[in-house]
Amino acid sequence: MQQKTGYFGEFGGQFIPEILKATFDHLTEHYLKARQDPAFWAEYKALMAEYSGRPTPVTFAANLTHKLGGAQIYLKREDLNHTGAHKANNVMGQGLLVKRMGKTRVIAETGAGQHGVATATMAAKFGFECRIYMGAEDVERQRPNVFWMEQLGAEVIPVTDGSQTLKDAINEAFRDWTGRMDDTHYCLGTACGPYPFPELVSWLQSIIGDEAKTQIQTLAGKQPDRVYACVGGGSNAMGIFSGFIDQPGVELVGVEAGGKGLLSGQHAARLASPDGKVGICGYKTVFLQDQDGQMKDTHSVAAGLDYVGVSPILANYQKTGQVRFEAATDSEVIAAVRLLVKQEGIIPALESSHALAQAFKEAPNLRPDQVILINLSGRGDKDIFTIADAFGDQKWKDFICHKAKQYEGR
Ligand SMILES: *Cc1c(COP(=O)(O)O)cnc(C)c1O
């Protein structure tokens, strides 16, 4: 059966205001042209080599493998990217596309601020004007990222509508785009949203899987038995999975935010829990929504996984059985951070630690000749506030109180 353009099985599509249709068509045309042009990918790879240290290495976690006593554990080191995560791949690739489209201004939504910082970095590098939409609540909570976005030259707009968080920021970014389509590109942050974004972002992130499949072959002498990635919107998972999706015998595992547990209702597991329901909000996918179709509040210790929607491509992979979905709870995630830091000297992002937590659960049940590859999507320096709290570090509390005292009365 012929697949309808922009659909992945029953998911995906493009549910947008009529006024944006021509802009989406323009973007789709340039995306498809870039995809057929080997010069685009060559330019992209060269840029990522020069600016973001690609290819990122694959590291054999020898101590951890020994400690867990099962499968060999390898890590794809997206934490070593410029700005600390795989988000650099997406924004730099879209930056090249913006140049090709002849546009000069970029806008983006951001929740925790990581995609905002990445976009502002790209804009500084390319010389684009940049505006970041962020829920007013998030602006309050994520001051370090807001500080850097502003230093990078971006204008950060606090959105005071609704719940003052990510979904309100997305609405506001679309409103901006509607008013300035000629010179502006909306640099969407993950493999979600109306077509072509899920496919465009996944394509740019496929650089991860491309590298990883040859690296793991060289290091381990075989293809992995299992590949793990955390799933927020789904972009780092799509990136690493792309290298293995057609390989027989490689099991792909997407790990969502289990929050306080799937039974607590406080989580962001759209595919791994029965709470996800098929719906349409710009695109068709599985959302966490109530009986009336209202989007639910989500919870995760990792701000980057705290999202109601998920990539329509991943929703389809669940249907086709090509990817298995699991959830890791906040406390399992904190334990995984502690273990990786101590055993391997690597500080993982809380998001990435969901993939670690699930892999650590499964590794001891596998044989020593089996190989697992975990996508370490980002580094955890940004999470020091949350991690130090979770570890209950008194000296960190003293430090924060001391700093606060210094500022008092100024
Ligand atoms: C943003 C982020 C994620 C979640 O986004 P995906 O699109 O699901 O990859 C995961 N890990 C890190 C480190 C992030 O910054």
- CA-to-CA separations, 380 to 54, 82, 114, 208, 302, in angstroms, rounded: 19, 14, 12, 19, 10
- CA-to-CA separations, 381 to 40, 84, 386, in angstroms, rounded: 33, 9, 10
The catalytic position among 76, 87, 167, 382 is 87
Q: Which atom of ligand 1 is nearest to the CA of 189?
A: 7
Integer Cα distance of 371 and 223 in angstroms: 8
According to CATH, what is the number of the domain 14-49+87-197? 3.40.50.1100
Give me ligand 1 centre to Cα 172, in Å.
Answer: 22
| Reported confidence tier of residue 58, pLDDT bands at 50, 70, 90 | very high
Domain ranges of the chain: 14-49+87-197, 53-84+206-389
Give the residue whose CA is nearest to atom 1 of ligand 1. Answer: 304
User: DSSP letter string over 271-306?
Assistant: SSSTTEEEEESSSEEEEEB-TTSPBPP---SSGGG-
Q: Which tens digits make up the pLDDT trace of 327-385?
A: 999 999 999 999 999 999 999 999 999 999 999 999 999 999 999 999 999 999 999 99
Query: Which residues, at least 6 apart from 167, have a Cβ–Cβ distance to it below 8 Å?
Result: 295, 308
Residue 397's pLDDT is what? 96
Give the residue whose CA is nearest to atom 4 of ligand 1. Answer: 232
Say whether pTM exceeds 0.85. yes
- CA-to-CA separations, 245 to 19, 290, 323, in angstroms, rounded: 36, 32, 9
- Establish whether domains 14-49+87-197 and 53-84+206-389 are of one fold: yes
Residue 87 designated active-site = yes
| Reported confidence tier of residue 398, pLDDT bands at 50, 70, 90 | very high
- Bridge partners of 257? 268, 328
Give me ligand 1 centre to Cα 115, in Å.
Answer: 9
Residue 2's pLDDT is what? 54
Q: Which of 301, 283, 274, 343 is nearest to 59 (CA)?
A: 343
Residue 181's pLDDT is what? 94
Average pLDDT, the chain: 96
Give me ligand 1 centre to Cα 265, in Å.
Answer: 22
Residue 243's pLDDT is what? 98
Contact between 318 and 271 under an 8 Å Cβ cutoff? The reply is yes
Integer Cα distance of 277 and 274 in angstroms: 8
Q: Which tens digits make up the pLDDT trace of 148-160?
A: 999 999 999 999 9
- CA-to-CA separations, 43 to 48, 52, 93, 106, in angstroms, rounded: 9, 13, 9, 20
Residue 242 designated active-site = no
Residue 214 has pLDDT above 80, yes or no: yes
According to CATH, what is the number of the domain 53-84+206-389? 3.40.50.1100
Residue 211 designated active-site = no
Residue 3's pLDDT is what? 67
| Reported confidence tier of residue 165, pLDDT bands at 50, 70, 90 | confident
The catalytic position among 78, 109, 326, 332 is 109
